[in-house]
Amino acid sequence: MTRRRLIIDCDPGTDDAIALWLAFASPEVEVALVTVAGGNAGLESTLRNARAVVALAGQSVPVVAGADRPLLGTFQAEVKVHGTDGLAGVRLPEGLPACPGQAADAIRDLLRAAAPASVTLVGIAAATNLALALATEPALADRVDEIVLMTGALGEGNWTPGAEFNAAMDPEALAILLATGRPTTLATLDLTAQALVTPARAAALRARGGGHCLTACCDIMDAVPPSRRLGHLGHALHDPCAVAWIVAPDLFTTRAVAVQVECGTGPGRGRTHIDRWGRSGAAASARLLETIDANGFFALLGDRMAALR
Ligand code: RIB
Ligand code: CA
């Protein structure tokens, strides 16, 4: 089996942390680079958290800091979900220092040295770092086999009534990625809502017993408040869905869709207009993850997390 090489761009972030651990625990992939943006918390916190998450899993993958603001405007941390520290108060041991330099440069350096269509970009934050890399050297997009993003919403948003957080923080960056023409897969809020962390699922995971990463994962799951958008039944495990698509695609059903993201300054900023039924006549520009086998997903997560140290 050829292991897919991933660049994971993140803003840890409670769900980002679990997404990273799932990737590290999955033999189908090799995480070649972790880049960090601000978002769920300020860049200082998200970078500290990324270093700690990588270290807890005993990984030596380079961690590189990136954007502390979107292409336009500022990041606005989602404190209600992730707390001021970014990990809902769950403390992890200090990780190794970040690598010097800027995320966009590190992404371009890795892509420049890669074979065609050999690297998967996994975006689980505002798309700023990935967009900066590809906008400044567009030819490198041919080294990318797939762009997998946790972003957008078919229905209700979670940052504004119509916009999901990552898309809302930097819609211009998302538009740049959607325009690359590379195969792009979207895990929207409508998909991630199906990956609902309920108290029963969190307890079942903890009962499996495991190492530091599983324990920290369960501590995080217990610390994140239930979502009022989801009827207080639990909280959506957003970012791990993007990784699960890569390592276990059979858990999903998909649909080719045309997607546009709304920029500008109106109330719809960051809204992803996803055309499920081809009403716009526009050509499909992305693969929408429509359903996930939630029980299969949590079984996968448990199996993989239990194997981590
Ligand atoms: O809307 C959810 C997304 O925004 C997730 O990636 C979460 O970590 C935040 O970045
Ligand atoms: Ca995230």
Q: What is the mean pLDDT of residues 128-137?
A: 97
Give the closest residue (by CA) to ligand 1 atom 1: 165
Structure tokens, 58: 């005993």
Find the angle CA(283)-CA(287)-CA(23) to the nearest 5 degrees.
Answer: 155
pLDDT for res 44:
96
Determine the distance separating the centroid of ligand 2 and the alpha carbon of 1, expressed in angstroms.
29
Nearest C-alpha neighbor of 88 from the set 41, 138, 152, 154: 41
pLDDT for res 80:
82
Q: CA 187, 35, 20, 307 torsion: positive or negative? A: positive
Determine the distance separating the centroid of ligand 1 and the alpha carbon of 101, expressed in angstroms.
25
Q: Which amino acid is it at 150?
A: M
59-69 pLDDT, tens digit each: 999 999 999 99
Q: What is the mean pLDDT of residues 269-287?
A: 96
28-51 pLDDT, tens digit each: 999 999 999 999 999 999 999 999
Determine the distance separating the centroid of ligand 2 and the alpha carbon of 279, expressed in angstroms.
31
Q: Which amino acid is it at 34?
A: V
pLDDT for res 65:
98
145-180 pLDDT, tens digit each: 999 999 999 999 999 999 999 999 999 999 999 999
Measure the CA–CA gap between 56 and 91, rounded to whole angstroms. Answer: 11
pLDDT for res 78:
81
Pocket around ligand 1 at a 6 A CB cut-off: 11, 13, 15-16, 39-40, 124-125, 150, 158, 164-166, 238-239
What average pLDDT does the chain have? Answer: 97
DSSP state of 110: H
Q: Is 273 a catalytic residue?
A: no
pLDDT for res 141:
98
Closest ligand relative to 160 C-alpha: 1
The helix/strand/coil state of 147 is strand
Give the closest residue (by CA) to ligand 1 atom 10: 125
Determine the distance separating the centroid of ligand 1 and the alpha carbon of 127, expressed in angstroms.
11
Give the percent of the chain with pLDDT over 70. Answer: 100
- Which of 82, 232, 235, 238 is catalytic? The answer is 238
Lowest mean pLDDT among 78-82, 208-212, 262-266: 78-82
Radius of gyration of the chain, Cα coordinates, nearest whole angstrom: 18
Closest ligand relative to 237 C-alpha: 1
Domain 4-307 has CATH 3.90.245.10: yes
Nearest atom, ligand 1, residue 78 CA: 9
Q: Given a cut of 80, is residue 1 above it in pLDDT?
A: no
220-238 pLDDT, tens digit each: 999 999 999 999 999 999 9
DSSP state of 99: B
Q: What is the mean pLDDT of residues 79-93?
A: 91
Phi, psi values for residue 195, rounded to 5° = -95, 65
pLDDT band at residue 79 under the 50/70/90 scheme: confident
Domain ranges of the chain: 4-307
In this structure, are residues 140 and 223 in contact, taking their beta carbons and an 8 Å threshold? no
Nearest atom, ligand 1, residue 236 CA: 2
| pTM tops 0.85, yes or no | yes
Closest ligand relative to 238 C-alpha: 1
Q: Given a cut of 80, is residue 86 above it in pLDDT?
A: yes
199-225 pLDDT, tens digit each: 999 999 999 988 999 999 999 999 999
Q: CA 229, 215, 76, 193 torsion: positive or negative? A: negative
pLDDT for res 81:
84
